[in-house]
Amino acid sequence: MDRGDNGLTVRKIRSGTVIDHIPAGRALKVLRILGVEPEQGYTIAVLMNVESRKIGRKDIVKISGLEPKVEDFHKISLVAPTATINIVRDYEVVRKEKVKPPEKVEGILKCINPTCITRQPREVATPTFRLVSRNPLVYQCIYCGSLLEEKEILEQLA
């Protein structure tokens, strides 16, 4: 995976995370949702629009020195449902996991319905969604029933 289709080589990382099989064009969204920025001191490599046997074209993100938490796995699955996360320690992949959109999402997404109870500023109802479909990705607000599709999820998390 270190070799892009233009022959560009990115060095292996000593420890950190390699997020592979990101749908092409969404690498920056993945970084944004993780809240990772170069100012924080991480070394970040982003490969975009690389050929992939599995998904045609893909993006890859390498972040040196960061190990994602469980909720990060969930967040990544919402913008990159095909992604694989590799945790690297001392140049070895110690954990490899395909992300899975969670059955329930609490607090990350916002309901699209302005008259949903979760949209009322004075109420403290946490927006909560249940997974309706993985492909295409569709979630449903447990409060008002509104459906949230992949396009809307991406817009919110961009």
Footprint of other proteins on 136-155 (CB under 8 A): 140-147
123 binds other proteins (CB under 8 A): yes
**Beta carbon nearer to other proteins, 93 or 117:** 117
24 vs 147, which CB is nearer to other proteins?
147
131 binds other proteins (CB under 8 A): no
* 64 makes contact with other proteins (CB under 8 A): no
Stretch of residues binding other proteins (CB under 8 A), selected from 14-22, 70-78, 101-109, 119-127:
119-127
- The minimum distance between CB 141 and other proteins, in angstroms, equals 7
If binding is defined by CB under 8 A, does position 15 make contact with other proteins?
A: no
Exposed/middle/buried for residue 60 (C-beta within 10 Å: 0-12, 13-18, 19+): buried
Residue 33 in contact with residue 77, Cβ under 8 Å? no
DSSP assignments along 72-92, one per residue:
HHHHHHHH-TT-EEEEEETTE
For 129-154, letters b (16+ CB in 10 Å) and e give: beeeeeeebbbbbbbeebebebebbb
In the chain, the N- to C-terminal Cα span, in Å, equals 26
Quick one: 40 or 120, whose CB is closer to other proteins? 120
Q: Can residue 112 be called a binding residue for other proteins (CB under 8 A)?
A: no
Residue among 34, 31, 153 at smallest CA distance from 101: 153
Residues near other proteins, by CB under 8 A: 113, 115-118, 120, 122-125, 132, 140-147
